Amino acid sequence: MKTLTATETHSVLVANRLDTSAKPGFAFRNPSCAIFYDWHVHPCHQITYARRGTTQVEGPDGHHLLPTAHAIWIPAQTRHRTMICDLDGVSVYFDPACFPHAHTEHVQIFPITTMLQEMLLHTLRWQAGAAEQSPIAQSFFRTLGLLCMEQMQAKTDRLFTLPRATHSSLVRAMDTALANPGLANLTGALQQAGMSERSFRRHFQEETGMTWQDWITQARLFRAAGLLAEGHRVTDVAANVGYASLSAFAKAFTNLMGLSPVHFRNLQT
């Protein structure tokens, strides 16, 4: 995977005119190679759709996993960084002045219907600056925005999101766990946080809305999704993320993703 610095990331944004806010919007074909963009912001709202491949986005609220047949909403001026793995998809950028105002201010994952898939891919006909003088484009982007809003509002639960804490002790424990979720455990998290188990569990639940066990399980499955998308064997991935039982891993992965690990890997590769 190619990891870009902040300067290299900014250069990519400028080269592809992603630093502009052309009205009413424009589309960008995502690179199919594995690439990790550093922290950055856009002046436009962004919706990235994944027809194939896996993308992970880290934003103010935590980590977000974008699986196949879903899209991610990133509001304008939201600081984030993105890891793309063999993505076949499109990013559509909407000028905030031309987008419905009743949108959410948080990064959100939502499922894509067949109609929305075709509409999102159709936006590739309009590169930055090409749609401003087109009445068809203006109508198309407004309709697309309204339909995406409808999908987002229908899914109020926060799908495929790993929440972030603000308490410095919890952040320290979470960052250590994310570095190697397969080896992370409660004992190590308590040591990193410098808290008693009772205080840790209470603060963790209050800040993330999840128990420690649910959070670390989801962190392991996020890591597993990335490894599977890279083509690693299911048995190797299960062991890497801390599962001694292949059946337990398959059950947990299927519950989160709606697909078995084998099916998910085949879709990506």
pLDDT tens-digit profile of 53-91?
778 999 998 999 998 888 999 999 999 999 887 678 899
Beta carbons of 18 and 28 less than 8 angstroms apart: yes
Confidence bin at 269 (pLDDT 50/70/90): low
To the nearest whole percent, how much of the chain has pLDDT over 70?
97
Residue 107: both structure tokens together: 């990064």
Q: How far apart are CA 29 and CA 83, in angstroms?
A: 15
pLDDT tens-digit profile of 135-152?
999 999 999 999 999 998
Residue 70: both structure tokens together: 């879903």
- Where do the CATH 1.10.10.60 domains begin and end in the chain? 165-268
Beta carbons of 223 and 182 less than 8 angstroms apart: yes
Q: What is the mean pLDDT of residues 131-138?
A: 89
pLDDT of residue 211: 95
Residue 130: both structure tokens together: 């090409």
- Where do the CATH 2.60.120.10 domains begin and end in the chain? 2-154
Confidence bin at 202 (pLDDT 50/70/90): very high
* CATH fold label, 2-154: Jelly Rolls (2.60.120)
Select the more confidently predicted residue: 125 or 229.
125
Tell the residue number behind the tokens 């087109």, with chain if given. 134
Question: CA torsion, points 255, 261, 262, 268, in degrees to nearest 10?
Answer: 110
Select the more confidently predicted residue: 24 or 52.
24
Domain at 165-268, CATH homologous superfamily: Homeodomain-like (1.10.10.60)
